[in-house]
Amino acid sequence: MNHVVVIGGGQNAEHDVSLASAAAVVNALRGRGALVDTLTIGRDGVWSSESGPLGLGVADSLAAAVVLLGRADVVLPVVHGVLGEDGALAALCALAGARVAGSGVGAGAIGMDKWATKLVAEAVGIRTARGRLVAASDIGDVEFEEPVVVKPVSAGSSFGVSLVEEAGQLRRALDAAAQHDGRILVEEVVRGREIDVAVLREADGTRWAAPPLEISTDGLFDTETKYDGSARFTVPAVLDAAEHAALRRAALTMFDALGCSGVARIDFFLTPEGPVLNEVNTMPGMTAASQVPRMFAAAGVDYEELVARLVAGARVPVASPRSSAGVAG
């Protein structure tokens, strides 16, 4: 591990979450003796280093940032959400010829698109909630006969997600989702335990699933409960052998089907009929208290070691990810 550039911030609602993740990652890498430079994407799109803005505007600062990315041994983009996790930064790294830690363009783009992710899941035999895709321009025509969950197709940290149990709540929920994306997903409510599974691809190409984590809340696991400390995490989740195996198998299947690299978090509802996929995060929260580091800590991989392994597994973004066996946890 030599010179690592960590990217944080971003031009979306997850900007502050990304800054926290990036700061934690930088501290972990420096704790392991790495030479680390940080780049921050402002809410206005201007790139900055620790010394200040890299240019007077978006284009100038981006041009300067690309030069720095090309000089790095490894680039670790810790930007959640649109214009970051969705493959945009992986594409930038590919164009700059930089090795990137994390998923490539395709996995990021599809994983960020909840509708496309559902189609991939169904194609490989993983159940998803019944739902429909709605354009923001058509929200006045949407009706429902049972409780539904409304969410933007491409957004993270549960921004714009609402549980609708009465008809009078629907339009407000659709409007909230439309603030984050022009496409909206309306899904049936799945009754089940909320279980997350984290998967890591190691430097040798093997990938493995950490012990699953269960989320317990008094209502919908939305943005507020995600960050106000009211959600309760249990890791390892209390599961029987068959449940554990089904979740692990589904997580690895989705990781491979999307072509993920680095680390990803695959979220499920565990029902009596088995796992139902909720969504995939190809750049999940990465503070030491975030769900993914908690899961790997339960497998004996501490935070600094996890970040070091993520960087060690960096690849040239244009290369095809290798698929191989190797499951633990």
With tokens 């550039």, the residue in question is 5
* CATH number, residue 80: 3.40.50.20
- DSSP assignment of 63-99 equals HHHHHHHHH-SEEEE---STTTTTTHHHHHHHHHT--
Is the entire prediction scored with pTM above 0.85?
A: yes
In the predicted structure, residue 127 carries a pLDDT above the cut 80? yes
Question: Does 11 map to a domain?
Answer: yes
Are 82 and 169 in a shared domain? no
Range of the domain at 163: 130-188
Mean pLDDT of all residues belonging to the chain: 90
> Virtual CA dihedral for 209, 223, 151, 212, nearest 10 degrees?
20
Same domain? 285 vs 153: no
Same domain, 182 and 196: no
User: 180 vs 54, which has greater pLDDT?
Assistant: 54
State whether 167 and 219 are in the same domain. no
d(C-alpha 229, C-alpha 126), whole Å: 31
Closest CA to 290 of 259, 250, 263: 263
- Predicted local distance difference test score (pLDDT) of residue 217: 78
- Considering its fold, how many domains does the chain have in total? 3
Q: Predicted confidence band at 181 (pLDDT cuts at 50, 70, 90)?
A: confident
Pairing of strands 183-188, 263-271: unpaired
Instruction: Tell me the per-residue pLDDT of 195-236, one tens digit each, with 9 for 90 and over.
Output: 999 999 999 999 999 999 999 877 555 455 555 567 789 999
What is the domain-level CATH number for residue 162? 3.30.1490.20
Q: Note whether 199 and 307 are same-domain residues.
A: yes
- Indicate the SS3 state at residue 118: helix
Domain annotation covers residue 320: no
If asked whether residues 235 and 277 sit together in one domain, one would say yes
- Quick one: pLDDT at residue 145? 77
